[in-house]
Amino acid sequence: MTDDSIKKAAELLRQGATMLSEACPVCGSPLFRLKNGDVVCPVHGKVYIVKSDEEEKQIKKDIMLTSVEDFLVEGLYSTAKKIKEDPYDSETLVQIIRYLDAIERIRKLVPQHNS
Ligand SMILES: [Zn+2]
């Protein structure tokens, strides 16, 4: 472990994280479980411990869905900025509503982090 990761690990413990018996598959640092259930490596940040191929597939899907949500939010933001220039452009408003609709739908598919 580098000085930096030791510092980070100490910080995690101070925040109430617990040290796990599993090690990071990439760097071998001990992993920590945060209060919100996320597992993090002090060097790599968030990591996923999978126990089966099925679980790995599910996690990959969740990560992709989260990325799609991010793209939609970015699209919504850049579209919404057009409203500033032309508040009465109904086409822009329709686009915004479509984005909001899509975001709402994708949020139903992305698991909320409350584990
Ligand atoms: Zn690591």
Domain ranges of the chain: 3-47, 53-109
* Largest distance between two CA atoms of the chain: 59
| Residue 46 CA, ligand 1 centroid: distance in Å | 9
Measured between alpha carbons, how far is 48 from 30 in angstroms, rounded to an integer? 13
| Residue 26 CA, ligand 1 centroid: distance in Å | 5
| Residue 7 CA, ligand 1 centroid: distance in Å | 14
- Crossing angle (nearest 10°) for helices 53-85 and 90-109: 160
pLDDT in tens, 30-67: 999 999 999 999 998 988 878 888 988 988 898 899 99
pLDDT in tens, 67-89: 999 999 999 999 999 998 888 88
